[in-house]
Structure 1
C-alpha cells in the first residue's frame, strides 16, 4: 500500500501582516483579567496563534474557490491542506488545554453571563484558541463534501496516482538514469475533453485578429465538417459547503478580535478583489482625475484590455456558470437601453492595435485624427482637417439588405472598402480616434439559422453612432485607460429584407 504524506501540497499562502510583527509581547491591562486567563500571555503564543489564524483564513478562501473550479487538483490540494490544518490546530490547542472541546464550550456559556466591564477578557489566550479550535472543527464538516466533489471532478480530468513526497523514479527508454518525479498539484489535471483545433486561420486575414465571420440567414461551410466544440462543465458550489465556510469564518472573526490591536490580518477575499481590479479594472483615482470631462453628457472612462483576456485557452476546462471577464467588466454602454437594446463600445487590443470587435452583422471603422482633445470635437467633426476620410465618416450610408450588410462587413474587416478604412488602428497614447459604429440586435432565432419574417426583420433594433475615444494612460501589461464620448447619433439603419 502506498502511503502519502501531505506536506508536498500547495503552500498555505503568504501570511502577510502589513506593518507589524507577530512576535509582539502583550501584557494584560488588569491583574484580575490576567488571573482569569488559563495561560499567561507571551509573544510566542501570539506568534503561533496568529500564523494559524492567517493560514486558516487563506485556506478557507482556497476551499471556496475550489468548490467551483473544474480542476480536480484544486480539490485534492485543499483536501490535504485541510487535514493538516485541523491537526496542527488541535496540536496547538492541546498544549493550551487538556480537553479543549469541553473547556471552550463551558467558557462560551460562562461568558454570556459576564458583565460588560469584563470585555477585556476577550483578549485572553482562551478567547483566541477557543474560536480557532471551534472554527477548525467546523471545517471538518467539509471532508464528506470534498470527497464527493473529488469523485465528480474525476469525470472531467485524469486523477492519477501521485508519487511519494521523496519522489519516484520513472522508467525512461533513452536516459541512462531514470528521472525522478515529485508530487505536484500546482498544474491543472489533464482534461478528458476532446482535442480542440485552433481555428484562428478561419478568420479573414489582417494583421489584427478579426472575428470569425458567420453567415446569417443561410448555411455555410465550416473549417472542420460536423465539428462541435466540447461543452464546458456547469459547476455550482454546494450550499452546505458555503454555509459551513461562512460559519467557520464568523467563528474565526472572534479570534481575530482577541489579538492585540497592533496585530492585523489580511483578508484573502478582499485581496483577491483588489488584485482582480488591478488586473482588469480602473484605478479608483482615475475617474476622479477626469471628473471634469466626465461631467459632459454621454462620456465615460474604461480600460481597454488585450483580446486574449476574453478568450478561453484551448483544451482547458472552464466553469460556464462563472462570469467571465467580459461579464465582470463589460464594455461601456453608449446610450440608454431601449427594449433591451443598448449599443456598446466593443474595443479591445490586438497586439499594439485598437480593434473593434463586432458580432452578428454589426460593423465599425475608426480613424486616428491625431492629438485633438475630446472636448474640442463635435458632431460634424469640425476640428478634424477636411479630407475624404472625414467626409466618409459623416456621410457613409449602410446598405439596407441583409446580404449586402454582410458583404459590406467583410469589406471593412479586410480593408477592401472604397475608403480603405479599417476596424482597427495603431495604438498611440494621447491620440484621438473617431469611430463610426453600426449595431443591430439580431434575434437568437436568426443567429441560430432559423428564418424570420420580413416584418420581424424590419423591426430589429439598431443604432448608428459617431463617437471618439482617447487613450490617456498605458499600463505595464499593455492595456490602456481610455476616455470616450458620443459625438453624434445618426438615424437608425433598417434591414428591409
Structure 2
C-alpha cells in the first residue's frame, strides 16, 4: 500500500474541478461585537449570504462527485476547496455576529437589537449549521484521498512560498507538480487500442467465437479491472444534513433570489449530451400513437466506450444503462429484444452480444407509416429476402452466417446486392432491419461441464430464448456531435429461431 502524506499547504489560487472560482474572498473578522452588526444594508446581507450559500451548494455537488470518482486530483481539489470555503463562511458569520454558536444554539433564535429580521437570523443560523456539518468531512476526504493514492499517482503540491524544489534522486530534474484540472495518471497506464487492430466496419473483439477457443488480438492480454468505489455512508449523511440546512436558508430569502442546483444542472447537461430533447416526442406525437413505435437517440460508438488509460468507477451507471436501447418485443424471461443501434463512423450498425446478428438495407425516402409486415412498396428482391430468410439451426453455422453479413463475403443467397449488417447514415431515409437475438445458457457461453447430479436438468440448462423481429427506423434529426434522432416501428415479429445440438 502506498501511504500518502497530505500537506495542507495549498497553492495560491487553487481552482476547482469544473473551472469555477470563489466569488467571495475571505476577509479578516471585524472588531469584537456581541450583537448583530449591520455593516451594510439588508440588500447587501442577502447578496453576500446568497453567494456563500450558492458556493456551498456547488461545493457539495463537487464533493458528491469526487466521492465516487477514482481520480485523486479531483479529491485533492475538493479537500482544498473545503478549507477555503470554511474560512470564507466563518469570516462572513463573524462580521455579522461574534458568537454564532451562542446565538444559533439558543432555544429561540430571534432578532437582536432590532437590526436583523427573523428571516435573516434563520439564514444566518442555517448557514452556520451547514458550515459546521461540512467541517466534519475533512477526515473522510483525507481517508478517501489516501485510497485514491493506491490507484493513481499523487504528485506533490507546489510550495506556497513559490520556492522551487528539486527531485530528491535526480537533482537536475525539477519536481513535476499536478495540474488539478486534469485527471491523475493511473499506475497501470498502458492499454492497447484494440479498435485499431480491427476493420473499421466492425470490432471483432466484441464478437467472441462461442464453443471453441479463438485467437485474441494480443496473446494472454487481460484488460485492467476498473475500481469499484462506493461513497462512505458517513459522508453522505453529512452532505444530506448540510443540504437540509441550506434548503432552510433558501426559503427565507425574499422573492427574486434564485439558486442553482448543480445536480439538476448536471442531469440536464447529461440529458442534452445523450438523451432526447423534451420537445421531440411532442413533435412526433401523432406518429408515436401508432402501435409498436418509438423514438430514441442513436449515439456514436465512442459514447459507449471507456477511453483507454482512463479509470472509471464500475459501480456508476454507464451511458447504455442511463439511456437504454428501446425494447422491441415482449420480454421472454430475461431476454429483452432491443434496437441496439449505434453510429460507427458514418454508418448505422447494431450492437450485438453472444451470437446475435442482424442485417439492414436503406429503402430511401419511404414513409414509416406506409410500411407493414408484408413490406408492400419495397423492391421484390429485398422483400423476398427479408421475409423468407431462414437462420441456421447450428451454433457454429450461425456464427459463420453472422460474419457473412458483417464482411459481405461468401454470400450465397443469389441477391442482386450484398446485404450487410450496417448501412451509410442518411437523414430522412428509412432503413429496414431484421434482427435475430439469442440468449444462450451459461453452460454453453462458459463451456462448463455439467456435474452428474445436475444432468437430469439438462433440458432446462440448455434452454435457448430467442427472437426474430422485422423493424424499420428513420433518422429525422442530426446533431452537431454526429448523433441522430430516429423514429422506429416494429413491422412484424417472426417465429423465434431455434439452435439445435447444443
| Normalised TM-score (structure 2) | 0.86
Count of paired positions? 465
CA RMSD of aligned residues (A): 2.8
Task: Name the residue aligned to 1:485.
Answer: 489
- Separation (CA, whole Å) in 2 of partners of 1:234 and 1:284: 33
Shift of 1:43: 2.9
Task: Name the residue aligned to 2:296.
Answer: 302
1:160 and 2:155 are equivalent in the alignment? yes
Shift of 1:156: 0.5
Deviations 1:240-260 (A, max 9, x none): 100100000000112212222
Q: Which runs of 5+ in 2 are unaligned?
A: 1-5, 25-34
Task: Name the residue aligned to 1:49.
Answer: 49
- Separation (CA, whole Å) in 1 of partners of 2:70 and 2:144: 10
Shift of 1:368: 0.5
- Separation (CA, whole Å) in 2 of partners of 1:54 and 1:6: 23
Task: Name the residue aligned to 2:328.
Answer: 334
* Mapped contact 2:191–2:223 kept (Cα < 8 A): yes
Q: 2:265 aligns with which of 264, 268, 271?
A: 271
- Separation (CA, whole Å) in 2 of partners of 1:105 and 1:458: 68
Q: Note the 1:125-204 alignment, pairs <5 A.
A: 126-164=121-159, 184-193=179-188, 195-203=190-198
**Residues 1:352 and 1:249: Cα distance change in structure 2 (over 3 Å):** same
1:448 and 2:446 are equivalent in the alignment? yes
**Residues 1:166 and 1:198: Cα distance change in structure 2 (over 3 Å):** farther
- Separation (CA, whole Å) in 1 of partners of 2:15 and 2:300: 30
* Mapped contact 1:169–1:178 kept (Cα < 8 A): no
Q: 2:247 aligns with which of 248, 253, 257?
A: 253
**Residues 1:448 and 1:166: Cα distance change in structure 2 (over 3 Å):** farther
**Residues 1:430 and 1:296: Cα distance change in structure 2 (over 3 Å):** same
Deviations 1:420-464 (A, max 9, x none): 211111111111000010100123332223257884586300011
Shift of 1:13: 6.0
* Mapped contact 1:167–1:182 kept (Cα < 8 A): no
Q: 1:8 aligns to what SS in structure 2?
A: coil
* Mapped contact 1:211–1:357 kept (Cα < 8 A): no
Task: Name the residue aligned to 2:29.
Answer: none
Q: Which runs of 5+ in 1 are unaligned?
A: 17-21, 23-35, 115-119
Q: 1:466 aligns to what SS in structure 2?
A: strand
- Separation (CA, whole Å) in 2 of partners of 1:213 and 1:373: 34
Q: 1:80 aligns to what SS in structure 2?
A: helix
- Separation (CA, whole Å) in 2 of partners of 1:436 and 1:166: 68
More deviation, 479-488/40-49 = 40-49
* Mapped contact 1:168–1:180 kept (Cα < 8 A): no
Q: Note the 1:218-229 alignment, pairs <5 A.
A: 218-229=212-223
Deviations 1:33-67 (A, max 9, x none): xxx97636433322222211111000000001111
Shift of 1:288: 1.4
Task: Name the residue aligned to 1:243.
Answer: 237
